[in-house]
């Protein structure tokens, strides 16, 4: 559990999901992985801290406003996970991340207003790159580790490397790398087509001395379900894509095993 007195003492592991650039599937991977962890019996919370492009709640079909009672914000609950966006915690503060108070205590206090209850994992979607919110969040939240999500294009590597450097510089462990959009299974010949290349996730994990958590194929169902606000691994729990997420979830759990 996190430090007593931090207000987050009911949370065992805070895990940040980061990437070098946007559009690599951070939200999609985080949501399906979070729901898979919950299906395996873990208590899971998801927080969208990407203020510039918040997209996590719609992927769970969540609209509207959270309930607030006596100063406490109650996260939404869908697909067995609790979920919230940092937007709601910052209402009344400056709309521009660069104008937010820079002291770590500011975001810490905001996160403490959420009635998360007991959680095994709080997965936090960080903005891509190294902007203000990323810097504030990394100073404010006691991350147990960072998961990097990337696509296997050569052009993705420099930005990912710079993002990784930021976390390493802050002594926050990078626990693993997930390669998303690794290949497309041809429905006719059943061979994998490596649309964006393949294997750079493994290479980055070796370079960063982090675990290679898995390779997620391009699946049109992931895009479609996301647009409908539905979570594919919950809709099709016996599908090959759910099996892939199961394996990634197992690999992630392994990284945070209790000693």
Nearer to ligand ADP, 28 or 138 (CB): 28
By CB under 6 A, the residues from 190 to 219 that bind ligand ADP are 216, 218-219
By CB under 6 A, the residues from 69 to 108 that bind ligand ADP are none
| Longest CA–CA separation in the chain, Å | 59
Give the x/- contact pattern for ligand ADP in 23-42, rule: CB under 6 A: xxxxxx--------------
| 180 contributes a contact to ligand ADP by CB under 6 A | yes
**For every residue of 87-121, which 3-state class applies, written as one string?**
HHHCCCCCCCHHHCCCCHHHHHHHHHCECCCCEEE
C-alpha to C-alpha distance for 20 and 15, rounded to whole angstroms: 17
Nearer to ligand ADP, 86 or 222 (CB): 222
Judged by CB under 6 A, the residue of 10, 54, 55, 229 near ligand ADP is: 55
Least Å distance between CB 204 and ligand ADP?
A: 16
Least Å distance between CB 226 and ligand ADP?
A: 4
SS3 label, residue 176: strand
* CA distances, 103 to each of 100, 127, 132, 133, 139 (Å): 9, 19, 12, 12, 9
Least Å distance between CB 162 and ligand ADP?
A: 16
Q: Is 152 exposed, middle or buried (0-12, 13-18, 19+ CB in 10 A)?
A: buried
Nearer to ligand ADP, 21 or 135 (CB): 21
Handedness of CA 99, 17, 30, 123 (dihedral sign): negative
Residues found near ligand ADP in the complex (CB under 6 A): 19, 22-28, 55, 180-181, 216, 218-219, 222-223, 226
């Amino acid at each position: 559990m996190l430090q007593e007195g931090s207000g987050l003492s009911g949370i065992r592991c805070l895990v940040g999901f980061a990437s070098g650039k946007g559009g690599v599937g951070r939200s999609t991977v985080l949501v399906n992985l979070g729901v898979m962890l919950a299906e395996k019996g873990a208590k899971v919370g998801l927080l969208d801290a990407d203020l510039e492009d918040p997209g996590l709640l719609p992927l769970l079909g969540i609209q509207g406003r959270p309930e607030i009672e006596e100063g406490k914000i109650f996260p939404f609950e869908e697909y067995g996970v609790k979920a919230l966006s940092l937007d709601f915690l910052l209402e009344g503060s400056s709309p521009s991340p660069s104008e937010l108070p820079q002291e770590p205590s500011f975001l810490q206090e905001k996160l403490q207003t959420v009635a998360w209850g007991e959680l095994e994992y709080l997965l936090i979607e960080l903005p891509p790159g190294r902007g203000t919110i990323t810097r504030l969040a990394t100073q404010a939240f006691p991350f147990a580790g960072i998961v990097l999500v990337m696509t296997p294009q050569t052009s993705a590597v420099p930005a990912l490397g710079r993002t990784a450097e930021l976390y390493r510089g802050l002594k926050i462990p990078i626990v693993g790398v997930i390669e998303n959009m690794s290949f497309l299974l041809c429905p006719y010949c059943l061979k994998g087509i490596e649309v964006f290349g393949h294997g750079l996730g493994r290479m980055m994990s070796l370079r960063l001395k982090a675990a290679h958590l898995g390779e997620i194929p391009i699946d049109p169902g992931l895009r479609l379900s996301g647009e409908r606000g539905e979570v594919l691994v919950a809709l099709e729990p016996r599908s090959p894509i759910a099996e892939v997420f199961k394996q990634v979830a197992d690999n992630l759990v392994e990284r945070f095993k209790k000693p």
